[in-house]
Chain A
C-alpha cells in the first residue's frame, strides 16, 4: 500500500464549445494537470474563477468523462487514456462509496421536498447500507450528531435551516457511505464569516476522527492555507505551482502565486499600511482562446519570447515544490 491515495497524471478535460469538424472549438478547462494526494492529507486547490478547480475535482471523481490522462485511486487505475494508448475505465460503483463530494451552495444542493433525515438516508438506501429501519434511523442520527446537529433536526426540511446548518447536512450526506476521500468544493464560501470557523473546525475534526483525505477547493487562500497540508495553484486550466502550505505562502516561486498572495487583503491595518502590493495588469484571458506558451504571459511582468512559444515544463524545482515557469531565476 502506497502513501498516495489519489494520483492524477496528465489529466485533461476539454469541453466542446461549438463549431464543427476542423473548426470545432474546445474549452480546455483542465489541461495536462498532474498531482497526488497522500492518505489522510488535505490538498488545497486555489485559483481564480473559471481556472478549472471544480472541473479537476469532478473529473477525478469521474463525474465527467476525462478527455485524457490517468487517474489512480488506492493503487487501482480507475481511468486511463494516454495519447496513442487504449482507454481503460473501471466500474465506478464500488468507488462511489469511497469517493464523495460536498458542494459550494448549501441552498441548491439539498432537495427542498425531502426531510433532512431522508436526505442523509438516501445514500444509505442506494448503497443498501442498513439492514433494518431501526438501523437506518440510528445511522442517520449518528451522522447528524457527527456534524453537530441532533435527532430533532431529522424531521425538518432544508429551508428551516441556516446556511451553516445546511452545509452540515450536505456533509452528513457525504459521510453516510463511510467515504475515505472527499472533494470539498468551496464548502464554506457561501457562509457568513462567523459561521465559517465552525465548519472549518468540523472538517478538521472529522478528518481526525475518520482518517479522511480531502481535496479542498476554495478561492480564499487564507482558509485553504489553514486547512491544507499542501496547496496547488491553478491558472487557466494549468497547475502553476504546488508545495507545502507554509512553503507556498512564504516562499512562492511562481509570479502568479506571488501576485495572488500579495493581492489578498490582510485583516491587520498595520500590515496593510506596510504592504507593497503587486497589482497585476489586465484580466484573465478567455479559456476558449488561451495565450500560447505560458498561459500567464499576458499578465506576467517577466514574460519574454520564450514564454510565448513554449509551454513551461511542470517540474520539481525544489524538494516537494513543483512549479511551471521558464524564468524562475529572473522572478526570484
Chain B
C-alpha cells in the first residue's frame, strides 16, 4: 500500500486563456500522510487553490492538467472519469470555502442541505439522515441543533454558517478535508473558534487537512507541514519548525521578515519584499522570484532553479541554496 494519502508528483497545469497560456502550476510535488495537516501559503494567484482543486478533479475551464501524476487514497486522479470523481468527492475528500454563503443554498433549510449530502453519499434512510444531521451540528458545536436544522442560511451568523459547512464536509467522514481560506471572512475571535474546532475534529476523526491561507499565524498554529508557493511553484517545503526557524528560500525569509508581530517589544521598521508580484502571463525566464530577490545571480535570470534537499522533508527551489549545498559538500570531501 502507498504510504501517502496524497501524492502529487510534478504536477503541471495551465489555463489556456484568450490572452495566452497561464502556467498556473509548475512541477508541484506534495506528499501527505493520513491525519497530517499541511498548510499552503503564498500570495493571491500563486496557485494555492488550483493545486487543491485539481486534487478533487475540480479544475475550472479553460484549465488543463498537462503533466505529472496525482494520487489520492489509492486513486490515480489523472485516470478517473467524472462520475468516479463525483463519488470520491464528499465521500473521501471534502472542501470548505472562504465564503460559506456562496456554497449554501439560500432557499433550503440547513437541515435539508445536510440531509441531502448524507442521502447522496450513504445508504441511510431519511429518518436516520435527520438524526445524523443533528449529530453533526452538535459535533461542530452548534447549540440548539433542532432549531438550527429548520433555519435558512441567512438566519445564521458567518461563524455559524462556516460551522454548518464543516458539518456538511464531515457528513461522510472524509479522509481529507481541504479548507480554502476558511476563516478569512470571519472575525478573529470567531476564527479562533473555527480553528479550534478543526483541530478537535482532526484528533477525533483522524482526517488529514490541507489548509490554504495567506496568514502565517494560522499555519504556525495548526500545520505540521508547510508548502510556500510563489508563481505556481512550491519554492520551499518543510515542517513548520523548518519553515519558521530555518527558512532557506529568499521568498520565505522575506515573508517572515515583513510581518509585524503582536509580541514585539519595541518598534522596528519592517523589512518589506520589494517589487510587485509577477505577471503570470509573462513570467520571467529563470527563477520567478528573481525580479524581487536581493540575492539574484546571473544564472537565476536564465534557468529555473533545481530542487535542493535539506532533509527528508525540507526542500527548496533556489540557485543560491543549490550553490551553498554544493560548496558545503565540496568542503566536506
* A interface residues, Cβ below 8 angstroms from B: 48-49, 162, 164-165, 192-198, 200-201, 204, 219, 221-223, 225-226, 246, 249, 259-269, 271-272, 277, 279-280, 283-284
Chain A hits for B145, CB < 8 A:
none
Q: For window 177-220 of chain B, which residues contact chain A by CB distance below 8 Å?
A: 187-193, 195-196, 214-220
Known: A196-B258, A198-B273, A221-B188. 9 other contacts (CB 8 A): A193-B214, A193-B259, A201-B269, A222-B260, A226-B264, A226-B270, A260-B189, A265-B192, A268-B261
User: Are A266 and B261 also in contact (CB < 8 A) when A192-B214, A193-B214, A194-B43 are?
Assistant: yes
Please report the C-alpha to C-alpha distance between residue A234 and residue B148 in the assembled complex, in whole angstroms. 30
Does A222 contact B274, Cβ atoms closer than 8 Å? no
| Cβ 8 A contact of B261, one of A48, A195, A267 | A267
User: Are A268 and B196 also in contact (CB < 8 A) when A197-B271, A222-B262 are?
Assistant: no
| Cβ 8 A contact of A269, one of B241, B272, B273 | B241
Please report the C-alpha to C-alpha distance between residue A212 and residue B83 in the assembled complex, in whole angstroms. 61
Q: For window 218-235 of chain B, which residues contact chain A by CB distance below 8 Å?
A: 218-221
Does B277 contact A48, Cβ atoms closer than 8 Å? no
Chain B hits for A226, CB < 8 A:
260, 264, 267, 270
Q: For window 3-57 of chain B, which residues contact chain A by CB distance below 8 Å?
A: 43-44
Please report the C-alpha to C-alpha distance between residue A263 and residue B269 in the assembled complex, in whole angstroms. 25
User: Are A201 and B262 also in contact (CB < 8 A) when A165-B276, A267-B256, A279-B196 are?
Assistant: no
Q: Does B66 contact A (CB under 8 A)?
A: no
Q: From residue A225, how far is it (CB to closest CB) to chain B in Å?
A: 6
Q: From residue A186, how far is it (CB to closest CB) to chain B in Å?
A: 13
Does B240 contact A193, Cβ atoms closer than 8 Å? no
Does A279 contact B193, Cβ atoms closer than 8 Å? yes
Please report the C-alpha to C-alpha distance between residue A325 and residue B35 in the assembled complex, in whole angstroms. 44
Q: Which B-chain residue is minimally distant from A285 (CB atoms)? A: B157
Does B188 contact A267, Cβ atoms closer than 8 Å? no
Chain A hits for B68, CB < 8 A:
none
Chain B hits for A264, CB < 8 A:
188, 217, 262
Q: Does B284 contact A (CB under 8 A)?
A: no
Does B189 contact A263, Cβ atoms closer than 8 Å? yes
Does A277 contact B192, Cβ atoms closer than 8 Å? yes
Please report the C-alpha to C-alpha distance between residue A204 and residue B220 in the assembled complex, in whole angstroms. 28
User: Are A271 and B189 also in contact (CB < 8 A) when A193-B255, A279-B196 are?
Assistant: no
Chain B hits for A269, CB < 8 A:
220-221, 240-241, 244-245
Does A197 contact B258, Cβ atoms closer than 8 Å? yes
Q: Which A-chain residue is minimally distant from B218 (CB atoms)? A: A265
Please report the C-alpha to C-alpha distance between residue A283 and residue B160 in the assembled complex, in whole angstroms. 8
Q: Does B67 contact A (CB under 8 A)?
A: no
Q: Does B295 contact A (CB under 8 A)?
A: no
Q: Does B263 contact A (CB under 8 A)?
A: yes
Q: Does B254 contact A (CB under 8 A)?
A: yes
Q: Which A-chain residue is minimally distant from B45 (CB atoms)? A: A192
User: Are A263 and B261 also in contact (CB < 8 A) when A193-B43, A194-B272, A197-B272 are?
Assistant: no
Please report the C-alpha to C-alpha distance between residue A221 and residue B187 in the assembled complex, in whole angstroms. 12
Chain B hits for A268, CB < 8 A:
220, 244, 261
Q: Does B265 contact A (CB under 8 A)?
A: yes
Q: Does B159 contact A (CB under 8 A)?
A: yes
Does B214 contact A266, Cβ atoms closer than 8 Å? no
Q: How many A-B residue pairs have CB under 8 A?
A: 130
Q: From residue B91, how far is it (CB to closest CB) to chain A in Å?
A: 31
Q: Which A-chain residue is minimally distant from B257 (CB atoms)? A: A197
Q: Pick the 10 closest A-B CB pairs, nearest first.
A: A265-B217, A197-B272, A226-B260, A263-B192, A48-B187, A197-B258, A192-B43, A267-B216, A197-B270, A198-B272
Q: Which B-chain residue is minimally distant from A202 (CB atoms)? A: B272
Q: From residue B87, how far is it (CB to closest CB) to chain A in Å?
A: 36
Q: From residue A236, how far is it (CB to closest CB) to chain B in Å?
A: 12
Chain B hits for A225, CB < 8 A:
260, 262, 264
Chain B hits for A260, CB < 8 A:
188-189
Q: Which A-chain residue is minimally distant from B195 (CB atoms)? A: A265
Q: Which A-chain residue is minimally distant from B244 (CB atoms)? A: A269
Please report the C-alpha to C-alpha distance between residue A222 and residue B267 in the assembled complex, in whole angstroms. 12
Please report the C-alpha to C-alpha distance between residue A283 and residue B162 in the assembled complex, in whole angstroms. 12
A-B contact pairs, 22 of them (CB 8 A): A48-B190, A162-B276, A165-B276, A193-B43, A193-B259, A194-B43, A194-B273, A195-B43, A222-B259, A226-B267, A259-B189, A261-B262, A262-B192, A263-B188, A263-B192, A264-B188, A264-B217, A266-B262, A266-B263, A267-B217, A277-B192, A283-B157
Q: From residue A102, how far is it (CB to closest CB) to chain B in Å?
A: 18
Chain B hits for A259, CB < 8 A:
189
Chain A hits for B244, CB < 8 A:
267-269
Does B270 contact A200, Cβ atoms closer than 8 Å? yes
Q: From residue B190, how far is it (CB to closest CB) to chain A in Å?
A: 7
Does B220 contact A267, Cβ atoms closer than 8 Å? yes
Does A193 contact B216, Cβ atoms closer than 8 Å? yes
Chain A hits for B241, CB < 8 A:
269
Please report the C-alpha to C-alpha distance between residue A265 and residue B215 in the assembled complex, in whole angstroms. 9
Please report the C-alpha to C-alpha distance between residue A201 and residue B260 in the assembled complex, in whole angstroms. 11
Q: From residue B147, how far is it (CB to closest CB) to chain A in Å?
A: 15
Please report the C-alpha to C-alpha distance between residue A204 and residue B260 in the assembled complex, in whole angstroms. 14
Please report the C-alpha to C-alpha distance between residue A246 and residue B266 in the assembled complex, in whole angstroms. 8
Q: Which A-chain residue is minimally distant from B261 (CB atoms)? A: A222
Q: From residue B48, how far is it (CB to closest CB) to chain A in Å?
A: 12
Q: From residue A51, how far is it (CB to closest CB) to chain B in Å?
A: 9
Does B214 contact A280, Cβ atoms closer than 8 Å? no
Please report the C-alpha to C-alpha distance between residue A283 and residue B262 in the assembled complex, in whole angstroms. 24
Chain B hits for A197, CB < 8 A:
258-260, 270-273
Chain B hits for A265, CB < 8 A:
192, 195, 215, 217-218, 220-221
Chain A hits for B277, CB < 8 A:
162, 192, 194-195
Chain A hits for B259, CB < 8 A:
193, 196-197, 222, 267
Please report the C-alpha to C-alpha distance between residue A265 and residue B259 in the assembled complex, in whole angstroms. 13
Please report the C-alpha to C-alpha distance between residue A187 and residue B244 in the assembled complex, in whole angstroms. 27
